[in-house]
Amino acid sequence: MAVTLVQVDAFSDRPFAGNPAAVCVLPAARSETWMQAVARELNLSETAFLVAQGEGFHLRWFTPVAEVDLCGHATLASAHVLWEDGHMPPAAMARFTTLSGELTARRDGDWIVLDFPAEVVREDSPPAGMIDALGVSPVWCGQNRLDWLVQVADEKAVLDTAPDFGALGRVETRGVMVTAAAAQATEADFVSRYFAPAFGIDEDPVTGSAHCALAPFWAERLGRTKLTGHQVSARGGVVRVEHQGKRVLLGGQAVTVLRSTLSEAAAADHG
């Protein structure tokens, strides 16, 4: 049976911006070995694999080198593909069973809204070598179960961050987000960049799961629960966030850029 891959630029309203993810809707579960091999071959920051399960879908995310517990942009891309390709009615809510529990997605005009867990960061002393590897002067440091968050003085400091990826990849963490309040002339409330070299991603263009931490972090500091984040990578992307206690709503747009079919040899799963 043919296996189709759909590449989507998530957290963007136009092609070649935001964060690309591949989405593969499968008729039945495949082995981890095969899924990891496909993700490694595609070499995108995330490849999502979905299998229908009950009233929703079982969803797993793979970087080129490892499976991850939570991924926002590939979930956004997955919901986009499920509606666009007719796997679900346009008005239906997408429900996903994942390593981070049940996640949902719904349409809101041209936007997709994800309901994700809040991943609150707690202030902590950074691990040895991390700040030197980032090359920044931190205002505040903390971590959650997934990542480290480093606040710097201003937007320029975020833009100027130039990590030593080899050194940063030796830090025991999924990734590090560097963030600051947005410059007053912009429409965003805060800006960020995200680095995860240990997981095969030197810099992720737009990171939904990082905004599960950034939303409560900036909501507390700015005194508002509804905010707009701008991830200022080279591709860039916008994430609307709403902090709701233990949950975070992430809003983004998505556009399909590529459809392809694996060859018969590549589609064979030998475990």
> Which active-site residues does the annotation give?
46
CB atoms within 10 A of CB 135: 13
Please list, in sequence order, all residues whose beta carbon lies within 8 angstroms of the beta carbon of residue 128, skipping any fewer than 6 positions away.
none
| Distance from C-alpha of 178 to C-alpha of 51, rounded to nearest angstrom | 34
| Distance from C-alpha of 229 to C-alpha of 19, rounded to nearest angstrom | 14
Give the residue carrying structure tokens 């595609």: 42
Q: Are 210 and 194 a contacting pair, CB within 8 Å?
A: yes
Q: Are 142 and 149 a contacting pair, CB within 8 Å?
A: yes
User: Which residue type, as a one-letter code, is found at position 212?
Assistant: C
| Distance from C-alpha of 244 to C-alpha of 153, rounded to nearest angstrom | 27
| Distance from C-alpha of 31 to C-alpha of 21, rounded to nearest angstrom | 20
Please list, in sequence order, all residues whose beta carbon lies within 8 angstroms of the beta carbon of residue 268, skipping any fewer than 6 positions away.
none
User: Buried b vs exposed e over 39-67: b needs ≥16 C-beta within 10 Å?
Assistant: beebebbbbbbbbeeeebbebbbbbbeeb
